[in-house]
Amino acid sequence: MTIKENFELAKQAYAKWGVDVEEVVEKLKNVPISIHCWQGDDVAGFEVNQNELSGGIDVTGNYPGKATNAEELRSDLEKALSLIPGKHRVNLHAIYAETNGEVVERDQLEPKHFENWVNWAKENGLGLDYNPTLFSHPKADDGLTLSHPNEEIREFWINHCIGSRKIGEYFGRELGTPALTNIWIPDGYKDIPSDRLTPRKRLKESLDKIFAVETDKKYNLDAVESKVFGIGSESYVVGSHEFYLNYAMKNDKLCLLDTGHYHPTETVSNKISSMLLFSEKLALHVSRPVRWDSDHVVILDDELKEIALEIVRNDALNRVIIGLDFFDASINRVAAWTIGTRNMIKALLYAMLVPNEYLKQLQEEGNFTERLALMEEFKTYPFGAIWDYYCEKIGVPVRESWLEEVKAYEQEVLLKR
């Protein structure tokens, strides 16, 4: 049978439950995923005075072909985007500035250092998001930045974050879609602290100074990202979930939830509905932790499906900003982007094909038997036939055929670097 014939049969199966598959396919086309640039070069960046990766971040593997400059990185992103259905965004870190060989400290970065990225985004119909980089730098060597006891070091990072918000605003103004500018810091202690409060006071004061500088919300959205622990901050992280949740609520900022930044038994999917009750918007970094915050490539596992279901069943596709955050240097990096992003979109499609309103009704009626039965049965409904049709309709490779394009790109481009 053809892809179209399989699609028509699957459509009938879903129609029985009141799911309009054609409407779902059209709606999915308008859901952007913010694809993180740092998978392509192992979070190295392109600073002239490049520093060793630090801040509790580690990338393992030595697969050939990583991007060594911005042009290579953009080329790799273009290849990945050509294999992913839909129109999406690209998420940049400050270390991906282009300074034409000049050493420019991070607190001196300006929009002009990202003009090439903006021009490229315009050519490709992409939005851009942004992150100040508060790691891999001599002024972060002791694991402290915005909460540092040294005022001079704090001011350096405060100024970097202020400048970053201006860069995010520039992205939004130039591209006609607001940039999410997200602040994550590595600050914390390896062993049990004798004072948890003082570093958090300093972090709050630093954030207050950063956000005292106005940016236009039409072009820039501010987010803060928490973490439960990291390498070198196993016992205490200054920017904990509770800290940032309270700070975001009180100061009208977005709280960004990274799926790898919580305890192993804690799930972000379970937090989404509570966050949406009290926030107009929510931001996500979708990753895959394996025993700890190891940022594995996103797969179509139960938690990814549950995250998508929480977004869809709560009618929050326009309220949740979905970004990805993983890095694997043991496999082809273009393939990693393609696998992870396609899986995120697959999860959203899966969620949109579930008769969520009917299942809600069953729960309200206390009909837990039928609720459980149907939730299980829909796991094997023919959503794959809908996915194949969606990819074909958008004009990207169907099923695993995209892998041949990546293999060819590896031979023609990546292995020659």
Distance, CA of 254 to chain centre: 14
pLDDT above 80: residue 180: yes
What whole-number percentage of the chain has pLDDT above 90?
91
Selecting among 41, 76, 129, 325, the annotated active-site residue is: 325
Flag whether pLDDT at 334 surpasses 90: yes
Q: Could you give the count of Cα atoms lying within 13 Å of 132 in the half-sphere of its Cβ? A: 31
pLDDT of residue 388: 97
Residue 88 annotated to the active site? no
In the predicted structure, residue 229 carries a pLDDT above the cut 70? yes
Catalytic residue (choose from 227, 241, 253, 305): 227
Mean pLDDT of 402-408: 97
Which residues on neighbouring strands pair with residue 128, listed in sequence order? 90
The pLDDT of residue 232: 85
Flag whether pLDDT at 344 surpasses 90: yes
261 flagged as catalytic: yes
Q: State residue 364's pLDDT score.
A: 97
CB 330 within 8 A of CB 41: no
> What average pLDDT does range 38-67 have in this prediction?
85
Q: Measured in Å, how far apart are the chain's first and last C-alpha atoms?
A: 42
How confident is the model over 61-116, as pLDDT tens digits? Answer: 899 999 999 999 999 999 999 999 999 999 999 999 999 989 999 999 999 999 99
Does the pLDDT of residue 56 top 70, yes or no?
no
- Whether 195 is catalytic: no
Q: Is 416 a catalytic residue?
A: no
For 122-126, what is the mean pLDDT?
A: 97
Is 315 a catalytic site residue?
no
Query: In whole angstroms, what is the distance from residue 289 CA to residue 301 CA?
Result: 12
295 a catalytic residue: yes
Helix (H, G, I), strand (E, B) or coil at 21: helix
Which helix (H) or strand (E) covers residue 183, if one does?
Answer: strand 179-183
Closest Cα partner for 67 from 382, 337, 375, 403? 337
**Among the options 42, 76, 222, 225, which is catalytic?**
225
Cα–chain-centroid distance for residue 130? 11
Length of the chain: 417
- Res. 257: pLDDT tops 80: yes
Which tokens in the block code for residue 80?
């990945």
Q: Among 78, 98, 73, which residue's Cα sits nearest to residue 88?
A: 78
225 is catalytic: yes
Residues 290-306 pLDDT 10s: 988 789 999 999 999 99
Model pTM score: 0.96
Q: Does 227 qualify as catalytic in the annotation?
A: yes
Residue tagged active-site, from 79, 261, 271, 305: 261
CB 165 within 8 A of CB 207: no
Is the predicted pLDDT of residue 362 greater than 70, yes or no? yes
Whether residue 321 is predicted with pLDDT greater than 80 in this model: the reply is: yes
Catalytic residue list contains 93 = no
Which ranges of 297-401 does DSSP label H, i.e. alpha helix? 302-313, 333-352, 356-365, 368-377, 383-394
Q: What pLDDT sits at residue 293?
A: 78
Cα-based distances in Å from 74 to 7, 71, 128: 34, 5, 13
Domains belonging to the chain, first-starting first, are 1-30+356-417 (no CATH), 31-352 (3.20.20.150)
Q: Average model confidence (pLDDT) for the chain? A: 95
Given 258, 303, 328, 388, the catalytic residue: 258
Closest by alpha carbon to 262, among 292, 234, 286? Answer: 292
Greatest mean pLDDT among 35-49, 153-167, 227-241, 281-295 lies in 153-167
Q: Which of 293, 310, 328, 388 is catalytic?
A: 293
Residue among 127, 132, 208 at smallest CA distance from 164? 132
pLDDT at 207 exceeding the cut of 80: yes
